[in-house]
């Protein structure tokens, strides 16, 4: 019998769950609301199997609290679901009113599904707060001796208060502390996979806290660096593609991060800011994690910056912002920078964009006047956000925003 809204399921201790409306669909199954327990959601698998059942039982028996400081941070399995005695899925806390992390990383001139969807008054500092919360939840999971595994950007969602929830917890890489059975993570999106996981078959790969730390560093990088991926680059010489890996994956395998080392004929993408505007310790943390080569990549795995360390580094940055040490950009109040840096790194990067692409064909530059349906932003200064207001008022607003996030 197919399960559908209205179907009744039973939990491990005999609790009854009635499926409500469908909430979402994935490759592995469908997520429903739970009609008689509104704080829960139920995931029903397309192909339930014995190993999944044992894994979920283990996760329920050795549960990590989904809440940290009162915030829902983990959609941790709450009960295992059976339909007429047959394993069917599991329940988890219902996560509402969130956006995937990639939406927060996006900042488009026409505001389609970007950071303004979540934060109409978006500021760079908001990304710092989200990065901090992400490091916090990853650290929490590691302190409980679990590995996230598939840290792709669909599995990390952001609330309007800047807190973070991890979804698809059933894909975690875990070991049953009693039986010792290993339930490996076998899925991942290549753009977040560490070099040791860039292999043809993820079932043979070894996910670890350190591969989580690598993915965490990529997410933090994208949050702080205007959505640029640390391993995207621009090749100045003729572009060759001789492997099945795309250039981004090749760069991860070879450690070609143009932000942390000099690579012949390779530069940062057009429009990407330099790492130099970040506090020295955060720059060092990115270097420690991303500066390796194909030969030493494996020996450097355990030296990656941990989630705990990221949490501290980002908290320090947040404290410096709170104390008013960073300046709001006069051209675009969403940007912030340390006065010692001279100018706004985001504006500088965007102003440099057309010039550094000068060898390109005419089509590279935005058209002078668009013949299609919207105007094109030629630089950050023209965005239609409110003009910068005087310092004191803005600072107060930002402070209260932070306070509400971290109280």
Partner 1 sequence: MPSRHEILSPLPPVNPGEMHVPCVLLVDNSDSLNCKGPNGRVPIDELNDGLVAFRKALDDNPLALGRADISIITFNSTVQTQLPFAPAANYVAPTLTASGCTAMNQGILTALDAIEARKSEYKNLGIPYYRPWLFLLTDGLPTDGRYESEAKRRLHEALQNKKLNFFPMGVGNADIAHLKSYTADGSGRVLKASATHFKEAFVWVSNSIGLVVNSDPRLGTVNLEPTPSNVALL
Binding site for partner 1 (CB under 8 A): 100, 102-103, 105-106, 108-110, 112-113, 152-154, 188-191, 200, 222, 225-229, 232-235, 239, 244-249, 267-272, 357, 359-361, 363-367, 370-374, 376
Instruction: Please report how close the Cβ of residue 371 comes to partner 1 at its closest, in angstroms.
Output: 5
Pick 157 or 344: Cβ nearer partner 1: 157
Instruction: Please report how close the Cβ of residue 222 comes to partner 1 at its closest, in angstroms.
Output: 6
Strand partners, 71: 68
Number of residues that this document lists for the chain: 407
Pick 43 or 140: Cβ nearer partner 1: 43
Instruction: Please report how close the Cβ of residue 303 comes to partner 1 at its closest, in angstroms.
Output: 26
Q: Report how far apart, in Å, the C-alpha atoms of 171 and of each of 166, 167, 187, 201 are.
A: 11, 9, 8, 16
Which pair of tokens denotes residue 52?
């999944």
Helices (H), 188-257: 209-224, 247-254
Pick 279 or 366: Cβ nearer partner 1: 366
Strand partners, 45: 29
Residue 327 CA to residue 47 CA, distance in Å, equals: 53
Helix 124-143 and helix 307-322, axial crossing angle in degrees, nearest 10? 150
Which residue do the tokens 């996006």 mark? 106
Give me the phi and psi of 155, to 5 degrees please: -90, -5
- Please report, to the nearest 10 degrees, the dihedral formed by the alpha carbons of residues 106, 110, 111, 113 taken in order: -70
Pick 179 or 242: Cβ nearer partner 1: 242
Residue 161 CA to residue 287 CA, distance in Å, equals: 30
Distance of CA 83 to the CA centre of its chain: 35
Residue 229 CA to residue 241 CA, distance in Å, equals: 20
Instruction: Please report how close the Cβ of residue 176 comes to partner 1 at its closest, in angstroms.
Output: 28
Instruction: Please report how close the Cβ of residue 241 comes to partner 1 at its closest, in angstroms.
Output: 8
Residue 142 CB partners (closer than 8 Å, separation 6+): 209, 212, 306, 307, 308
Instruction: Please report how close the Cβ of residue 249 comes to partner 1 at its closest, in angstroms.
Output: 7
Give me the phi and psi of 174, to 5 degrees please: -135, 160
Pick 41 or 205: Cβ nearer partner 1: 205
Residue 374 CA to residue 399 CA, distance in Å, equals: 35
Pick 110 or 181: Cβ nearer partner 1: 110
Pick 42 or 252: Cβ nearer partner 1: 252
Pick 56 or 101: Cβ nearer partner 1: 101
Pick 188 or 195: Cβ nearer partner 1: 188
Residue 126 CA to residue 334 CA, distance in Å, equals: 10
């Amino acid at each position: 019998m197919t399960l559908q809204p209205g179907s009744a399921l039973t939990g491990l201790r005999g609790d009854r769950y009635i499926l409500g409306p469908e909430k979402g669909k994935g490759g592995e199954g469908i997520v429903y609301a739970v009609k008689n327990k509104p704080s829960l959601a139920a995931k029903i698998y397309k192909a339930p199997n014995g190993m999944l059942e044992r894994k979920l039982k283990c996760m329920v028996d050795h549960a990590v609290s989904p809440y940290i400081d009162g915030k829902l941070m983990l959609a941790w399995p709450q009960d295992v679901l059976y339909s007429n005695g047959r394993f069917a899925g599991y329940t988890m806390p219902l996560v509402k009113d969130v956006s995937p992390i990639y939406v927060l990383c996006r900042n488009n001139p026409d505001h389609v599904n970007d950071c303004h969807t979540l934060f109409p008054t978006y500021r760079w500092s908001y990304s710092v707060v989200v990065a901090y919360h992400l490091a916090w939840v990853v650290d929490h999971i590691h302190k409980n001796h679990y590995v996230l595994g598939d840290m792709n950007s669909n599995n990390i969602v952001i609330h309007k208060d800047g807190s973070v929830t991890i979804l698809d917890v059933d894909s975690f890489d875990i070991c049953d502390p009693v039986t010792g059975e290993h339930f490996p993570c076998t899925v991942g999106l290549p753009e977040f996979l560490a070099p040791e996981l860039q292999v043809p078959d993820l079932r043979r790969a070894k996910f670890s806290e350190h591969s989580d730390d690598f993915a965490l560093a990529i997410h933090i990088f994208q949050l702080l660096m205007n959505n640029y991926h640390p391993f995207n680059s621009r090749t100045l010489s003729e572009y060759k593609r001789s492997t099945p890996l795309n250039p981004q994956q090749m760069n991860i395998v070879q450690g070609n991060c143009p932000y942390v080392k000099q690579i012949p004929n390779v530069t940062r993408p057009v429009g990407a800011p330099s790492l130099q505007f970040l506090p020295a310790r955060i720059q060092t943390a990115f270097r420690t994690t991303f500066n390796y080569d194909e030969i030493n990549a494996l020996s450097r795995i355990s030296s990656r910056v941990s989630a705990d360390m990221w949490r501290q580094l980002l908290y320090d940055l947040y404290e410096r912002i709170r104390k008013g040490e960073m300046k709001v950009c006069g051209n675009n109040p969403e940007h912030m920078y340390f006065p010692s840096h001279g100018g706004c790194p985001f504006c500088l990067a965007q102003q440099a964009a057309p010039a550094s692409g000068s060898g390109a064909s005419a089509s590279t530059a935005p058209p002078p006047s668009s013949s299609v349906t919207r105007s094109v932003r030629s630089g950050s200064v023209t965005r239609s956000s409110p003009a910068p207001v005087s310092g004191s008022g803005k600072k107060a607003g930002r402070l209260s925003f932070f306070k509400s996030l971290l109280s």
